[in-house]
Structure 1
Amino acid sequence: MHIAIADLKLDHLWVVHPGSHRFGLDEGIEAIGLAELVTGEEKFM
């Protein structure tokens, strides 16, 4: 994931998982639940 962040010059990377909770994976990398993404509970930009 760090290579993708560097190559694409990203500030942050979100990984979508089937669960319902959010948690950090590493600096600048966060896992979010699919339900949160679909319902738009959080703004990502």
Structure 2
Amino acid sequence: MMGPRQAAQPALFYEFSLEDHVPQNHLLRSIDRFVGLSGIRSYLAALI
């Protein structure tokens, strides 16, 4: 049964951006330049 959302309930969905959480000098940003993930990115874009 669905009722009003209680204040203590966490959100089921939330917005999260890796760009906001991965520091600019992190090793993953260097690796990203050499690894081709465009196929995965385009696949995942439909889910955002």
Q: TM-score with structure 2 length normalisation?
A: 0.23
Point out the structure with the larger helix share: 2
Q: TM-score with structure 1 length normalisation?
A: 0.23
Point out the structure with the larger strand share: 1
Greater relative contact order structure (CA < 8 Å, 6+ sep) = 1
Question: Whose radius of gyration is greater, 1 or 2?
Answer: 2
